[in-house]
A and B are shown apart, each in its own frame.
Chain A
Amino acid sequence: KAGVTQTPRYLIKTRGQQVTLSCSPISGHRSVSWYQQTPGQGLQFLFEYFSETQRNKGNFPGRFSGRQFSNSRSEMNVSTLELGDSALYLCASRAPNQETQYFGPGTRLLVL
């Protein structure tokens, strides 16, 4: 099976802009979670989508949003970018009723 894919892999934006990141899970996985990874805060959970519905949400401001499509692909959007949003954004999928997360390669976002 193909692994989790994320696009784009690298992105440079300026403050105030918005960005959309994409994630395609492993075939058959319906759960997609998003994480923000920074050197200072480690892996921080953003939200989880399952069957096009947000099922869990981490402690991030409303500027961070997401959605999931009927084919389980997911997008994450960050509006009004701030310098502190610079991070590696990881997407992870998992099989039904399994806790193991399979991570994609991530999108490295730099906000200038």
Chain B
Amino acid sequence: GQQVMQIPQYQHVQEGEDFTTYCNSSTTLSNIQWYKQRPGGHPVFLIQLVKSGEVKKQKRLTFQFGEAKKNSSLHITATQTTDVGTYFCAGTSGGSYIPTFGRGTSLIVHP
């Protein structure tokens, strides 16, 4: 079945440093979604990428979808303590509406 790998599992950064999490799928994806889960909270939808090579920005967050639609990344510029949480990617493929989630990357920002 489809597998979605996400690295790193954890990332400690000093406030102001950049952060990147990477997502790789074993199959070509129809689309990829990114979610953020704050400590003690639930996953909240951030964005969906559909097109090959697509790049989208949300303020300090930049999302990329690979040309082959098998990988994606989330980059945060100049992290803030409010960025703390676990970032999940979730990919769908084969006509299914059910996404396969990566294990997530937990971001810890030290002030």
CB distance from B54 to the nearest CB of A (A): 15
Bin chain B's interface residue count. Answer: 20 to 34
- Smallest CB gap from B44: residue in A: A103
User: Which residues of B86-111 have CB atoms within 8 Å of chain A's CB atoms?
Assistant: 88, 90, 92, 96-104
Cβ < 8 Å to B, chain A residues 72-105: 88, 90, 92, 94, 97-105
Say whether B31 faces chain A, with CB atoms less than 8 Å apart: yes
Q: Which residues of A contact B59 (CB under 8 A)?
A: none
Instruction: Flag A34-76 by CB within 8 Å of B: 1 or 0 each.
Output: 0100000011010010000000100000000000000000000
Interface centre among B30, B45, B98 (most CB of A within 10 A): B98
Cβ of A33 under 8 Å from chain B = yes
Q: By the criterion of a CB under 8 Å from any partner CB, how many residues of chain A are at the interface?
A: 22
Pairwise interchain contact A94-B101, C-beta atoms closer than 8 A: no
B79 within 8 A of A: no
Residues from chain A with a CB closer than 8 A to the CB of B31 are 99
Q: How far is the CA of A102 from the CA of B100 in the complex (A)?
A: 15
A56 to B2, CA, bound (A): 15
| Interface positions of A (Cβ within 8 A of B) | 31, 33, 35, 42-43, 45, 48, 56, 88, 90, 92, 94, 97-106
Interface residues of B (CB under 8 A from A): 30-31, 33, 35, 41-45, 48, 88, 90, 92, 96-104
Closest CB pairs A-B (n = 7): A43-B101, A42-B103, A103-B42, A103-B43, A106-B42, A56-B98, A99-B92
